[in-house]
Amino acid sequence: MLAWPRWSRRLAVGAAALGVAAVACAQPFINILTGGQSGVYYPVGVALSQIYAKELPNARVTTQVTRASAENLNLLQAGRGEVAFTLADTLSDAWKGNEEAGFKQKLDKLRGIAGLYNNYIQIVANADSGIRTLADLKGKRVSVGAARSGTELNAREILKAAGLSYADLGKVEYLPFGESVELMKNRQLDATLQSAGLGVASIRDLATAIRIVVIPVPPEVVAKVGDPAYQPAVIPANTYTGQTADVPTAAIPNFLVTHSGVPEETVYRTTKAMFEHLDALHAAHNAARAIKRETALKGMPIPLHPGAERYYREVGLLK
């Protein structure tokens, strides 16, 4: 076997060293999984991406439109995203591997970053439909959110607690927020259930186009869900045009999550950046004003990522 000339060996060693250095200095890639553009996840995700891009200048940051919670968690498990928004009950189902919720096996790579703000179950009907209560949804045309999305899972739970099923409805549409609103404007739907932060753009848009009624979800129905993630709450009067009174409903927390394969340093820096620039998140959407460092660990149903844990220890939230 022929020996390499000395200069060739030096060149090879030098190239290998450069390759190692390139890997060491590789830009972290951060893909933020959000939801539909008419919801709250998307504008808050865009604001988060801007924070990351500023505070981690070497990172490549993108924001992806998705079908929200359930899809986000499956994408994280597959390593096809680094940060994602999700509802608490969907996150719990994914961690347990609840097949009825669409998770055939436990998504064991999921890791927590922070608690965010509450979603509110917002059932909105055309004022001309005659719908005023949950029972009035029988025989009506209703959109329950994209199939297997967090919203659709919420819809199943709320209807079940009210003694209803999809079979009781006249027609069930599995549509994201924006498409549901367009069908309601065209009188092709009677009502839509949307699980989102207060003042969500889709319902604000609908309320300016037609007369709406926000349907109450009474506390006794919330209690029958039997999941601690569902808590009685109120949609304050005048949240939407034409809604002149407080409306009882259910609230469910949202979480920001990642997966175990994301480096500790990346999650530490992104967590720190988020909490040091809460003003930017608060400006992105009214619902995001509820995001606070002090409540970031409340109700977290999965283990924290070591990077997030490091940050919370640094600021004294964990001992």
Domain count within the chain? 2
Strand partners, 114: 256
Question: Tens of pLDDT along 298-308?
Answer: 999 999 999 99
How confident is the model over 262-280, as pLDDT tens digits?
A: 999 999 999 999 999 999 9
Q: Are residues 125 and 220 in the same domain?
A: yes
Asked if 83 and 111 touch (Cβ cutoff 8 Å), the reply is no
State how far the alpha carbon of 259 is from the alpha carbons of 68, 106, 108, 224, in Å: 16, 13, 9, 32
Question: Do the domain assignments include residue 149?
Answer: yes
Residue 319 maps to a domain: no
Q: What is the pTM of this model?
A: 0.87
Q: What is the CA radius of gyration of the chain?
A: 23
For 66-116, the pLDDT digits (tens) are 999 999 999 999 999 999 999 999 999 999 999 988 899 999 999 999 999
Instruction: Report how far residue 137's alpha carbon sits from residue 132's, in angstroms, rounded to the nearest whole number.
Output: 8
305 and 232 co-located in one domain:
no
Alpha-carbon distance of 27 to 57, in angstroms, equals 9
Residue at 23 is within a domain: no
My answer on whether 135 and 58 are in the same domain is no
My answer on whether 200 and 307 are in the same domain is: no
> Domain boundary residue among 227, 252, 277?
252
Q: By residue range, what is the domain housing residue 167?
A: 119-252
CATH classification of the domain holding 102: 3.40.190.10
Residue 12 maps to a domain: no
266/247 same-domain check? no
Confidence bin at 22 (pLDDT 50/70/90): very low
